[in-house]
Amino acid sequence: MQQKVLFGTHGVSSVEVLREAASCGYEVFDSADSYRNHAQIAQVLKENPMLKVQTKVAPQNLSFEKCAKFVLRALEELGRPQIDCMLLHFPAAKGLKHSDPRNKERRLGAWKALEEAHKAGQVAHIGVSNFQTRHLEELLAEAQVRPRFNQVEMHPLYWDHELLHFYHQQGIQLQAYCPLA
């Protein structure tokens, strides 16, 4: 998936709003399991098969088994044989403190599930969201498939030079959310 301006669908449950976004030229919808709008997006994708969709695995699905089940559910909900891009939404599992060492194990398990979905053709591109350098280093040490994207908050008032340098070194593309602050 070539980088484009994505239409963020957090809080969007109206099919009409999604149709309007498509008519304004947005080519990619950015969704997530926690946004609960796959059904509405599926309606617009069915009307315009050229549109693309990116969705994210919720923190409660941060394990191999749960992530693998989510991939299948997302394919069904979005009505597509393949999802254009799927990201791990957050580096910590729901209910665990950020410093809990079980997060690494769960992240890596979920990543392995995304790698399998990618290799099976269920997901064209895989990536992460809200991962910092240390999370990416841990992932890259174990990954068979490199993350294509890391979606993080990035704008003129919040600019992480260390993370950008790391992306450049590792060939990971930045996806900025809230790019206009």
Mind giving me the DSSP string for 121-142? TSEEEEEEES--HHHHHHHHHH
Residue range 48-70, pLDDT digits in tens: 999 999 999 999 999 999 999 99
Which homologous superfamily is 6-177 in?
NADP-dependent oxidoreductase domain (3.20.20.100)
Going from N- to C-terminal start, the domains of the chain cover 6-177
pLDDT over 80 (residue 73): yes
Residue range 84-111, pLDDT digits in tens: 999 999 999 989 998 899 999 999 999 9
- Exposure b/e, 17-53, CB count within 10 A at least 16 = b: bbeebbeeebbbbbbbbbbebbebbbebbeeeeebbb
Band of residue 1 on the pLDDT scale cut at 50, 70, 90: low
